[in-house]
Structure 1
Amino acid sequence: MTRIAIFSDTHSTVGHELEGEALTAAREADVVIHAGDFTSAAALEAFREECDRLFAVHGNADSGAVRDRLPEARVLEEAGVRFAVTHRREGGEVGLSMFGRSRGADVVVSGHTHHPTVVDVEDCLLLNPGSHAQPRGHRPGFAVLEAVADGTGLEGEIREPDGTLVESFDVAGTV
């Protein structure tokens, strides 16, 4: 069964800042997605050390060393679901939806706001896991998705680093 962990907005100069259930999720996931703003190469490398497969993009606060190593956007497919990943897009939900639509995505993963949110728009799901390290007035967050037993999509949750449930959601796969 596929397990995907999703993070964003680490904003660290020393490491990944993962703890509790967030650290467990990163270590146990088949795939980890990070929507940017590691800030430092040390934070990026710390994530890579914890994860078997890391798919990340750079954010607006990332150092030149991080920007040189990561794309601004990327697309990946896991468990029959197509993910489009970016740090942010101008135009809010409309801009993110257009970004996802142009890439045939079922889920658009973004960061930047530090606000954990799930918004179901007409043709895709917009997912911002929040920031597990610097919530900036919001609940700290990260997301975990697991394949549904019948292979029809994913069941997801946004959680706080201590494991407290913030929100549950489902993703139908189309790939």
Structure 2
Amino acid sequence: MLTVVSDTHATDAHRLRGRTLEAVREADRVIHAGDFYREPVLDAFLAENESLFGVVGNNDDTPIRERLPHERVVAYEGAAVAVRHRSRSGATGLAMFGRERDADLVVFGHSHRPEFDDSAGVPLLNPGSHAQPRGNRPAHAELEPSADGNGLDGRLVTPDGDVFERFTVDAGGN
């Protein structure tokens, strides 16, 4: 399983709980789309799962900026996942970022709003924020290989374990 989180905004702990904590611990890989906030939070995530692939968010401190890239591509089960915290040009800029990297999926954060949007040419996934939802539903995303082996089946999930959206990502389609 690939677990995706973002926007923790904490000073000393990962603030994971319930299903979100389980999903991070169980994951083959974890993507964090930025805004850990302070370095001890990054270290707390790594203590839960060493296969963490994070990027820098606009609120991350200097030690995090020295340890993580601003963007990256993560391979998972035949899919290329392009990750960055945000794009100033919205969905169009995120889709372009994904196309430039031959990505099957773009993961981003910043808005704290969990959403999946496949209308931009490259599917866009914001897992929301498990720790600071800012008026949105607290959430993370979980993705697993589809039964036919041609992509990923995903879901947006609350820390209480409620699945509130399901989606599919085709792999190798770009």
The TM-score normalised by the length of structure 1 is 0.96
Could you tell me whether the CA contact under 8 Å between 1:88 and 1:111 is conserved in 2?
A: yes
> Quick one: distance in 1 between partners of 2:172 and 2:121?
11
Could you tell me whether the CA contact under 8 Å between 2:142 and 2:155 is conserved in 1?
A: yes
Could you tell me whether the CA contact under 8 Å between 2:8 and 2:130 is conserved in 1?
A: yes
Residue 149 of structure 1: how far off its partner (Å):
2.9
Matches within 5 A, 1:20-31: 20-31=18-29
Residue 73 of structure 1: how far off its partner (Å):
0.2
Residue 76 of structure 1: how far off its partner (Å):
1.5
RMSD: 1.0
Could you tell me whether the CA contact under 8 Å between 2:92 and 2:120 is conserved in 1?
A: no
Residue 123 of structure 1: how far off its partner (Å):
2.8
Is 1:109 the counterpart of 2:107? The answer is yes
Match of 1:79 in 2: 77
Residue 147 of structure 1: how far off its partner (Å):
0.8
Residue 148 of structure 1: how far off its partner (Å):
1.5
Aligned to 1:144, which of 142, 145, 153?
Answer: 142
Q: Identical aligned pairs, as a percentage?
A: 51
Aligned to 1:39, which of 18, 21, 37?
Answer: 37
> Quick one: distance in 2 between partners of 1:59 and 1:172?
27
Is 1:161 the counterpart of 2:147? The answer is no
> Quick one: distance in 1 between partners of 2:135 and 2:148?
38
> Quick one: distance in 1 between partners of 2:97 and 2:121?
11
Match of 1:60 in 2: 58
> Quick one: distance in 1 between partners of 2:133 and 2:93?
23
Match of 1:130 in 2: 128
Match of 2:91 in 1: 93
In structure 1, stretches of 5+ residues that fail to align are: none
Is 1:15 the counterpart of 2:13? The answer is yes
In structure 2, stretches of 5+ residues that fail to align are: none
Residue 52 of structure 1: how far off its partner (Å):
3.3
- Deviating 4+ runs (over 6 angstroms): none
Could you tell me whether the CA contact under 8 Å between 2:91 and 2:120 is conserved in 1?
A: no
